[in-house]
Amino acid sequence: MKPDLSFRIYSTSASLPEDWDTISKNNIFLSVAYMSILEKAAPENMDCHFIGLFRNDKLCGIALAQHIDLSKVNTFVEDKKSFCFKDYVFGLFTSHTLVVGNNMLTGQNAFLLTDEIATSEALKLLRKTIKELIHIYKKKRIRLNMLAVKDFNAHELPDFKTAGFKGYYQFCTQPNMIFDIKPEWLSIDDYLSDLNTKYRTQYNRARKKAEGIEKRKLTAQDIKEQEQRIHDLYMTVARNASFNTFHLPEDHFTIFKQQLKDNFLFYGYFINNELVGFSTLIRNGCDMDTYFLGYDDKVQKEKMLYLNMLYDMVSYAIKKQFKHVIFARSAMEIKSSVGARAEQVFGIIKHTNPIINLFMPRLFPYFDPKITWKERNPFK
């Protein structure tokens, strides 16, 4: 690595270089505003580090790393009633995990670079950053067990070998579900006309079921007033997940709205003025990212609320002429039923204990939740 390259680790958004956002303009999830959200409203078991990459003291890359204390979360089951062997072993070997990237999102939100630094050079700097963070936590009497970098496309993986990431196990878990918006779609009616009869019927049935539900766009003040109810609805969904590495704090969405303003959309779903569900969207350039949601289980089943939320997201993205809706992981089959395609994303992971790391090809598949689903094609 050339001696003119260096890195710096920041723990607050206020300390970031003035020109940080000249690079982050291509991804809101690496912007100063979003770093501020992570600083103020990250999950309780997560510490975030913001990384600047420099050539001759000029900022030429930005990155994010997160330390996750998995001992504070019931990873595989929520509200355990009995001893869970898998959870026990997982916590024993992976209590403290360092992720280069964003564990709260799907997609390449790990770093952004200018033309003044090659990807292989940046990755070599990030490898040095990882070593420095291991040292920082060691001084805090915290031993980092797992090191990971996520989420990348297959063609990006050779860069890691070039950069010297040795001993890492390459993994691929649930895909990123991406909805592509055709340029000729100008309204939801154009989308519906491209659906085959079966899925057009599904759409009409879902909309019929949703009668009686009022959808509202909430302000920061509205979100603040509904914080407890929002958190309860969010936790209903989180508890049903097969795998959890964090839980959002109660004020997360309020701070999110305060920081991202119009780039963060929060929709509440009401019956008789009672909040029974919510969905969130983030404007990110030509893409629209879906974020966390929540709902009342009973209402979800009776009103097909989740499916209606997906249709609302598609409708909004078409109306506003985005190019893609990033639906992220989870619920792959129902997302594919509205037209999302599966895109495989990869990561690399390594245990800091070299003996345990030898068994990573067997350990990772054991802990990785297996989800069987059928891909749907709703279009003619």
Per-position DSSP letters for 177-212, written without gaps between them: EEEEPPTT--SHHHHHHTB-HHHHHHHHHHHHHTTT
- Report the chain (380 residues): mean pLDDT per 10 consecutive residues: 84 96 96 97 95 96 95 58 49 80 93 96 97 97 94 90 93 92 96 97 97 97 97 92 83 97 98 97 96 96 97 97 94 96 94 91 77 91
Give me the pLDDT at residue 70, please. 84
pLDDT at 82: 47
**Whole-model pTM?**
0.91
Q: Peptide bond before 79: cis, by omega within 30 degrees of 0? A: no
Q: pLDDT, tens digit, for every residue of 2-32?
A: 569 999 999 999 999 999 999 999 999 999 9
pLDDT at position 179, please? Answer: 98
- The answer to whether the CB of 345 falls within 8 A of the CB of 167 is no
Residues in the chain: 380
Burial call 111-126: b when 16+ CB within 10 Å, e when fewer: bbbeeebebebbbbbb
What's at 372, amino acid-wise? T
Distance of CA 23 to the CA centre of its chain: 20
Question: How high is the pLDDT of residue 369?
Answer: 66
Q: Give the pLDDT confidence score for residue 173 in this predicted structure.
A: 82
CB 49, CB 66: distance < 8 Å: yes
Output the pLDDT for position 90.
54
3-class SS at 238?
A: helix
- CA-based diameter of the chain, in Å? 65
Tokens representing 333?
């089959």
C-alpha distances (whole Å) from 261 to each of 239, 247, 266, 269 are 29, 23, 10, 20
The strand pair at 96-100 and 146-152 is best described as: parallel
pLDDT of residue 236: 94
Q: What's the burial of 222, exposed, middle or buried (CB within 10 Å: 0-12/13-18/19+)?
A: middle
C-beta separation of 353 from 145 below 8 A: yes
pLDDT digits (tens, 9 = 90+) for 41-70: 999 999 999 999 999 999 999 999 999 998
CB 338 within 8 A of CB 310: yes
